[in-house]
Amino acid sequence: MSDIRSGDNIDLSQGRDYGTDCLTEFLNEIGSEITGACMVPLNLPQAEIINIIKRAVKWFRKNYEYSLRENYFHVPNAVFDSQSFKTTRTLNFPKENATSGAGEVFSIYGVYDLASGWNTGGSGLDLRFAGGADFNIEKMFFSNSFAGTGAAESAEELQYYVINQSYFDMARQILENPLSFHYSQLTGQLKFMGDTPKGDVIIECYESIENCALYNDEIFFRYVAAKVKQAVGAKLGVFRFSLPGGVEIDYDGIKSMGDEEMERVLEEIKGDEGVDWMFHS
């Protein structure tokens, strides 16, 4: 039985160490997979495999939820006073880090003006009960239980509370005048379509993770291996030649293996998409 681990004796400020050259290690694993640990005498073109990996990373950013992470981006209000913004009403986000592949803003799903009270209690439209108040939420839930009326009425109180919270949350979104925007992932440009923000802006976005983290993902490895098998079978199979001893490589068979593996990988990725489950009694 393992011990309970504590953050007191683990450095939680440091990210994972993926080694000094994760790409080379990944290429070696792919080469071992395709050649059966050198049992099949194939000389794989490394430049083509690197191109396949680059295209696979781009594909995973668009289709694999774990290749991105949620993050915040803070934009000072002074940016909106610049002549560049006044001319184009556009902010330009940088590409990913050239070394790690991380940090590119892939998509933006929220732009909030701090002057409108984002995450500050909703400009007074908040029904959350503060602890220690005369009528806090705990007192509301348990008053019926202590009065002897049972949990049924407490459940009704909870239902009314949730309904009211939903109503005020909707009212908050309308009254706080949300910013209208459009973001293009290909150009990295965030276009403000409505009012100019009056304060600092907080952006909720999805950004790319480190490529090394993807290289350590089992399903990414299988995807790239399948792509390489497809490429080997399709391209090297154009030129038919025999190995010493008259042995011929079945390139059609290699391509078929890649096709079958790719189909399984795509089905697994499709079935692994995040779902908000709802249970019915």
Q: What is the pLDDT of residues 54-93, one digit of tens each?
A: 999 999 999 999 999 999 999 999 999 999 999 999 999 9
β-strand partners of 248 = 242
Question: How do residues 106-161 score in pLDDT, each as one tens digit?
Answer: 999 989 888 865 554 444 444 444 444 445 666 666 666 666 555 666 677 778 77
Cβ(175)–Cβ(91) below 8 Å: no
pLDDT at 22 over 60: yes
* CA gap 64, 132 in Å, rounded: 45
Question: Which structure tokens are listed for 177?
Answer: 């005048």
Q: Among residues 66, 5, 15, which one has the least CA distance to residue 219? A: 66
Torsion angle of alpha carbons 221, 226, 231, 232, nearest 10°?
90
- Please provide the average confidence, as pLDDT, over all residues in the chain: 81
Give me the percent of the chain exceeding a pLDDT of 70: 73
* C-alpha span between 213 and 220 (Å, rounded): 10
What does the radius of gyration of the chain's CA atoms come to, in whole angstroms?
27
- The token pair that represents 213 in the structure block: 């983290």
**Please, which pLDDT band fits residue 277 given cuts at 50, 70 and 90?**
very low
Predicted confidence at residue 170, as pLDDT, reads 77
Which helix (DSSP H) or strand (DSSP E) does residue 74 occupy? strand 68-75
Higher-confidence residue of 122 and 102: namely 102
Alpha helices in 70-113 (DSSP H): 83-88
- Helices 137-146 & 151-175 angle (0-180, nearest 10): 160
In percent, the amount of the chain with pLDDT more than 90 equals: 45
- To which residue do tokens 């973001």 refer? 183
CB neighbours (10 Å) of residue 16? 8
